């Protein structure tokens, strides 16, 4: 199977069309959404995989990636079936009352916005670009329930292949969900208390690293000066508002309460991690 087929194009009227919806050859009257080049439809009975090809013969991976991104959004709009988190914190699929494509929410324009009763669910389609730190921060600020569907490595020959990949839970990750965020925040607070993570601070220096790796030579390190890999991967670290300084939960003194921004831990993941993932990460971290 080849993952670079162009299955979606735009016709002369500016409408997105699937390969099996148009006449064969140049009669399809279609163009590439990415580069604007003229396309030829190859969808007669002799061809196993129906697809579009550039009339010039110069197909590119960027063109097929754009077509995949568009087709994925069209499929979800047709199905109106979107991921959701139930009250038990489990992933499920629900029916959307309305699907909006590229809806402008101010600082965020999600690929898909599903309206489900009073709830709104954003869906990002990952073909070339995953949710980054900047977008993640905006999602957190809005507390917008968001899922990312990873299609970056799938192989496909037709619409059904892509549909199956969209609804394969292995390809779906939770970027943010308020129910999960609150559950995990409480869980992490308990983790800190149980493991004595909040250490005594003297003169601004953490007397013991939360994960027992903050000693450089015979000197106890200031956590906000530490830059090595364990700190970058530790889920008790976070990035400060200036988006440059790596800080540590160990900097919180005994008299301070654990702030809500602790939910922003796992900054390198650009998402909220589940409790199971936190435990797995903790166990992996101990082996480093």
Domain that holds residue 54: 8-67
Of residues 24 and 275, more confidently modeled: 24
How does DSSP assign 85-119, residue by residue? E-TTS-EEEEE-SEEEES---SS---SEEEEETTE
Check residue 65 and give its pLDDT.
Answer: 95
91-138 pLDDT tens trace: 999 999 999 999 999 889 999 999 999 999 999 999 999 988 788 878
In terms of domains, do 42 and 76 share one? no
In terms of domains, do 47 and 97 share one? no
Check residue 276 and give its pLDDT.
Answer: 67
Check residue 273 and give its pLDDT.
Answer: 65
Residue 2 belongs to some domain of the structure: no
User: Cα separation of 227 and 233, whole Å?
Assistant: 10
Contact assessment for residue 22 and residue 28, using Cβ atoms and an 8 Å cutoff: yes
User: Cα separation of 258 and 261, whole Å?
Assistant: 8
In terms of domains, do 201 and 273 share one? yes
**Angle of helix 159-166 versus helix 61-79 axis, rounded to 10:** 70
Residue 269 belongs to some domain of the structure: yes
Check residue 132 and give its pLDDT.
Answer: 84
**Domain C-terminal end among 67, 86, 117:** 67
Sole residue written with tokens 């990873």:
150
Residue 3 belongs to some domain of the structure: no
In terms of domains, do 248 and 259 share one? yes
pTM of the predicted model, to two decimals?
A: 0.73
Residue 153 belongs to some domain of the structure: yes
Residue 110 belongs to some domain of the structure: yes
Strand 16-18, strand 172-176: pairing = unpaired
The answer, yes or no, to whether residue 23 has pLDDT greater than 80, is yes
What is the average per-residue pLDDT within 11-19? 95
User: Cα separation of 204 and 125, whole Å?
Assistant: 43
**Domain C-terminal end among 177, 194, 210:** 177
**Domain C-terminal end among 161, 177, 193:** 177
Model confidence at 88, pLDDT cuts 50, 70, 90, reads confident
3-state secondary structure of 121: strand
Name 40's Cβ contacts closer than 8 Å, sequence gap at least 6.
Answer: 25, 26, 28, 52, 53, 54, 55
236-252 pLDDT tens trace: 665 555 555 556 665 55
In terms of domains, do 242 and 155 share one? no
Residue 1 belongs to some domain of the structure: no
125-170 pLDDT tens trace: 999 999 887 888 788 888 899 999 999 999 999 999 999 999 999 9
Check residue 180 and give its pLDDT.
Answer: 80
User: Cα separation of 2 and 17, whole Å?
Assistant: 21
Provide the number of structural domains found in the chain.
3
In terms of domains, do 80 and 135 share one? yes
43-63 pLDDT tens trace: 987 788 999 999 998 889 999
In terms of domains, do 264 and 189 share one? yes
Of residues 177 and 82, more confidently modeled: 82
How does DSSP assign 166-212, residue by residue? HT-GGGEEEEE-HHHHHHHHHHHHHHHHHHT-S--EETTEESS-TTS
Name 5's Cβ contacts closer than 8 Å, sequence gap at least 6.
Answer: 49, 51, 64, 156, 157
Residue 113 belongs to some domain of the structure: yes
In terms of domains, do 198 and 281 share one? yes
Check residue 197 and give its pLDDT.
Answer: 46
In terms of domains, do 189 and 277 share one? yes
Query: H/E element holding 141?
Result: helix 133-142
Check residue 170 and give its pLDDT.
Answer: 94
Residue 11 phi, psi (nearest 5): -90, -175
In terms of domains, do 82 and 171 share one? yes
In terms of domains, do 170 and 235 share one? no
Of residues 171 and 225, more confidently modeled: 171
User: Cα separation of 136 and 127, whole Å?
Assistant: 17
Check residue 51 and give its pLDDT.
Answer: 95
The answer, yes or no, to whether residue 31 has pLDDT greater than 50, is yes
Q: Please tell me what DSSP assigns to residue 272.
A: P
Residue 87 belongs to some domain of the structure: yes
Contact assessment for residue 265 and residue 167, using Cβ atoms and an 8 Å cutoff: no
In terms of domains, do 109 and 157 share one? yes
Check residue 17 and give its pLDDT.
Answer: 97
174-207 pLDDT tens trace: 888 888 877 776 776 666 555 544 444 455 444 5
Check residue 234 and give its pLDDT.
Answer: 65
């Amino acid at each position: 199977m080849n993952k670079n087929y162009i299955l979606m194009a735009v016709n002369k009227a500016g409408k997105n069309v699937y390969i099996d919806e148009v006449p064969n050859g140049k009669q399809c009257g279609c163009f590439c959404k990415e580069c604007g080049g003229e396309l030829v439809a190859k969808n007669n009975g002799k061809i196993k995989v129906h697809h579009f090809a550039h009339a010039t013969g110069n197909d590119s991976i960027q063109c097929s990636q754009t077509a995949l991104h568009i087709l994925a959004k069209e499929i979800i709009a047709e199905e109106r079936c979107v991921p959701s988190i139930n009250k038990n914190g489990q992933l499920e699929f629900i029916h959307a009352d309305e699907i909006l494509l590229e809806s402008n929410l101010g600082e965020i324009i999600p690929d898909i916005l599903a309206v489900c009763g009073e709830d709104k669910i954003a869906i990002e389609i990952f073909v070339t670009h995953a949710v980054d730190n900047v977008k993640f921060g905006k999602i957190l600020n809005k507390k917008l329930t968001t899922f990312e569907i990873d299609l970056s490595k799938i192989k496909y020959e037709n619409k059904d292949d892509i549909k199956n990949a969209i609804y394969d839970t292995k390809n779906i990750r939770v970027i943010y969900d308020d129910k999960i965020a609150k559950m995990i925040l409480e869980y992490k607070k308990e983790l800190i208390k149980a493991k004595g993570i909040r250490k005594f601070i003297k003169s601004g220096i953490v007397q013991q690293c939360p994960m027992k790796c903050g000693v450089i030579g015979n000197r106890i390190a200031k956590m906000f000066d530490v830059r090595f890999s364990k700190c970058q991967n530790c889920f008790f670290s976070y990035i400060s508002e200036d988006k440059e300084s790596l800080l540590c939960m160990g900097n919180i003194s005994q008299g301070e309460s654990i702030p809500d921004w602790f939910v922003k831990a796992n900054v390198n993941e650009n998402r909220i991690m589940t409790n199971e993932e936190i435990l797995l990460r903790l166990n992996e971290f101990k082996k480093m």
